[in-house]
A and B are shown apart, each in its own frame.
Chain A
Amino acid sequence: MEILVCARRVPDTSENEIQLNSAGNDIERDELVYSINEADNYAVEEALQIVARVGGNVTVATVGGEDDEEILRREMAMGANHGVLITDEAFRGSDGRGIASILKAFVQKGHYDLILTGIQAEDGGAQVGGMLAALLDYPFASLVNSIEILDGKKLKVSREIEGGNKEINEIDLPCVLSIQTGINEPRYVGMKGIRQVASLPIPTFGTSELGIPPGAVGEAAAKVKRVDYFVPALGKGAEILQGSREENIDKVLELVIAKGGLK
């Protein structure tokens, strides 16, 4: 099975202190550390596990710049067969639909039985998976938390429903699935693995390779534009505990008990 995983590099929320920049339209990016979007990492792990069962190849692609090679190498160290960097100045500033169109053009350059994306990017809007499926006219399932290969043509996937329930679907291949975190336990990628793939070539694709007409994507074509970015003001009902750790723990317990959360 030929599997394509669309991945993205995002600021790592657990290792950064996210602050607004002075202009107030983006976050301060100077001292950020980045990593692969967590859900995308689960998608790659799932692809690797499928290939281990039924054979095939895993390709990881990202739309971005040179810096984004880092996550492709990490996923290649994890076991992905190919990494592809889709990059062009003309792609800069694309909205969700623009990214989906670029990916669609890339998908049509190859033959993929299955396309996986993460459920959403940590700094994104959970748009690309569904739009990519629609542009390709492929079936789509979101929030997937298990995949079973039925035969060469069908999958049985389970979707997470709000409240922890599961819905089981059959879906025809080729298809696009957006993967929920927790579908598996992604393997660890150590420094040694990354070093070993450090010199592998990573092909790049731009407008000319993909045959995307200039102006079709990018900032000019974007119909969704970010106009502001802010940290919401504290609403009513939110109480920030200002005491020491010990006092806060006691206070939280007291509140939870008072609200009937603990008996």
Chain B
Amino acid sequence: MEGIESAAQVTLSLAASLATGRVLFLLIHILGVLCFAYIVAKRMVPLLRAERDFRFDHPLIRLGRVLKFWLGQWKHPRYKLAGILHVFIFAGFIVLAIRAFSVLIVGVSENFVMPGLSGRAGPIYDIITDYSATIVFLCMVIAVIRRLVFKPARYAVPARYGKAHTADAIFLLSLIAILMVADSLFAAARAAAQSQPGPSVETLAAFSLPWILQKALLSTALSTLGKLYFGAYLVHELTFYFLLCYRPFGIQFHVETSLFNIYFAKLDREILKPVRWGVNDEHLDQVKSFGVKTFEDFTWKHMLDFYSCADCGRCSDNCPATAVGRPLSPRFITIKARDYSFKRYPILGSTNNGETNNGAALIGSIYSADEIWSCTTCGACEEECPLLIEYIDKIVDLRRGMVDDGNVPQSLQKPLKALESRGNPYGKMEKKKADWANAKEFQQTCPVKTLGKNNSADTLYFVDSITSYDDRMQSIGRATAKILNHVGENFGILGAAERDSGHEVRRFGEETLFMALRDHNVDAIRASGVQRIVTADPHAYNALKHDYKDVPPVEHISQVIAREVKAGKIKFNPIENGNSVYTYHDPCYLGRHNQIYDDPRDVLDAIPGLKRVEMTRSRDRSFCCGGGGLMLFYEPKEDQRMGVQRVQMAAEAGANVIVTACPFCMVNIEDAIKVAGLEGKMTAIDLAELVDQQIARDVPI
């Protein structure tokens, strides 16, 4: 060795070595930034041609959600390993972002120190970054091993959706690993060089990646270290810009877009997107085309959703339609749209050959009609998505487009026509709507008023079509009426004046018909003069609560029961059959869509002697029974019924009675019990029926 130099001299010589590349580095900076700016500008083109979407309100609430879902990574730990890995990687990225910028600047201005990190904060920050780089590097190693060895099922790409995404994922993970190594090597080479003349000036965080590399480089010649220092910098810079410019081509674009995607995410998830933002109902007739037919009919936020998907597969992993082999996978609703967008709006060359009109119809090209009709709008995908990507609005918008084009399955046309002419999907006579309540024996024990000129009440029991007309579900109607009667509620029904709530009509894309049903019901409800509404049908509940305007407040019967149990107005006889084990199935439109999870459970737990178990999939991870309303008429292509999987889940939990709180769940679950061959071993009962059965009527209230 040609004489040991002082630490200061070493630093100078390293700086000088880096300075030789100053012009090159500057060039890479400029090229990299320009390239990224160009790509982002190109990616913005479809967003600017997209439909409107009002997402600029409530900045504080939106910031709060950014803190929770973006910075706080709220949804991630729902998947333990992947979630925690991601939290670490995300935290690492946030920490390293500042370092990455200062390192980039060091290349062109050797003595640059990030403002705020010149004093004591500097070394502390350095230690944190050393560990961050190490953690991110280790996470990458684990992630690659997961992808290659453990291959979680949700990453698999079914053949009909194209090739596996594994190679791309590993390529990107490796690039990040390289970035971490280069970053650490840069610090290690510098520290190793400085430690040669004597006591080290810089201390690296013990056992961190830079620290290990530094130990390995301790006896390396200074000149080699200089080259390493230079090389590490170059690799870091090239990798950094390559990643920056490559990410907008695939799943890692979410690194850039997630912040915006979460900021602009829908605030009122329960409320369906209007047919067109900024056009109110009265002017809807002037809108020529309804819904999404071509890519440009999506709103800009929905396109941003497509860009933001990280391909994590959680949506489809929870999608009941995917689980039973229907031709729908929410993940690929997004991936296919993104691929289409990238093809239609290429980075190089002019956008779709200079066409100014919209592209081809999406149905029949990237999506099939069956795929879009397969969704039950249960909301499991949206509940899971860490990036708050919206699916229901897109599905409904695509359906609106199909309905507008007349592309509706024959099996749905009859019930829709019947809803138009008779106000219910079964085509039954309006005058028979109250038949369930008018049976003589029942009227004697529990009189139900039909509201009208001569009859008024405080509370309206909104029955809806299935409970009014279906023989089996009428029992839920009678149980509900008896409960209301028991607690002394002054209530009545609309009878023939009640039309279907239109909940599924709207979700199946027939907005105009929905509006007619809604307007009729709103008029009838207001004319009845009631103060509040109760329903035992979560779909009607959701419609009245979120789709209707200017109607009195609405409650689901489970809320009423829970309140009356607490108030002591409802007391229960103990369950007599000691062998019954109950489990509660959360209806999608009561649970996920309206967060009513506890009231039904509290009611069950108030019944003496009732043994209750939870299914693995419960509360916000409840598994859809198969869908309600018009979904009962649709004939999906599927390997198995959703309900069958659901009753098997109940059996696995050790239950032999499934309690639900929705007439559609009852249809699906009772059918499924038979299909699954569990007749005699499993039964289903509605919460209202169970309560009615167990109410202690002789106890004074």
Contacts and interface: CB of A to CB of B under 8 A. Distances in A.
B34 interface: no
A14 B429 CA distance: 11
A190 B404 contact: yes
Given A31-B431, A35-B421, A188 B285 contact: no
A35 B404 contact: no
B187 to A, nearest CB: 65
B438 interface: no
A185 interface: yes
A14 B512 contact: no
Interface in B396-449: 403-408, 410, 412-414, 416-418, 420-422, 427-429, 431
Contacts of B512: 190-192, 195
A74 to B, nearest CB: 10
Which of A17, A187, A188, A195 has most chain B Cβ within 10 Å?
A188
Contacts of A35: 417, 421
Contacts of A187: 405-408
A245 interface: yes
Give the 4 A-B residue pairs with the shortest CB-CB distance, closest first: A187-B406, A15-B427, A188-B408, A191-B512
A181 to B, nearest CB: 11
Contact of A188 (B416, B429, B511, B516): B416
B674 to A, nearest CB: 10
A191 B412 CA distance: 15
A12 interface: yes
Contacts of A196: 285
Interface in A1-49: 12, 14-17, 31, 33, 35
30 contacts: A12-B417, A12-B427, A14-B414, A14-B418, A14-B427, A15-B418, A15-B422, A15-B427, A15-B428, A16-B427, A17-B429, A31-B429, A33-B421, A35-B417, A185-B410, A186-B410, A187-B405, A187-B408, A188-B406, A188-B416, A189-B406, A190-B416, A191-B420, A191-B510, A191-B512, A192-B511, A192-B512, A195-B285, A195-B512, A196-B285
Interface of B: 285, 290, 403-408, 410, 412-414, 416-418, 420-422, 427-429, 431, 471, 510-513, 516
A33 B406 CA distance: 22
Given A15-B422, A191-B512, 17 more contacts: A14-B427, A15-B417, A33-B421, A33-B422, A187-B406, A187-B407, A188-B408, A188-B412, A190-B416, A190-B513, A191-B510, A191-B516, A192-B285, A192-B404, A193-B404, A195-B285, A245-B471
Given A17-B429, A195-B285, A196-B285, A190 B510 contact: yes
Interface size class of A (residues with CB under 8 A): 20 to 34
B403 A15 contact: no
A12 B513 contact: no
A78 B406 contact: yes
Nearest to B405: A187
Interface of A: 12, 14-17, 31, 33, 35, 78, 185-193, 195-196, 245
Contacts of B417: 12, 15, 35
Nearest to A15: B427
Contacts of A190: 403-404, 406, 416, 510, 512-513
A78 B407 CA distance: 11
Contact of B513 (A14, A17, A31, A191): A191
A33 B421 CA distance: 7
Contacts of B406: 78, 187-190, 193
A206 B410 CA distance: 36
A112 B422 CA distance: 37
Contacts of B422: 15, 33
A185 B408 CA distance: 9
Contacts of B405: 187
Contacts of B290: 192
A185 B410 CA distance: 7
A149 B31 CA distance: 61
Contacts of A12: 417, 421, 427
Contacts of B416: 188, 190
The listed residue with most A CB atoms (<10 A of its CB), out of B416, B512, B513, B516, is B512
A184 B512 CA distance: 26
A31 B414 CA distance: 19
Contacts of B403: 188, 190
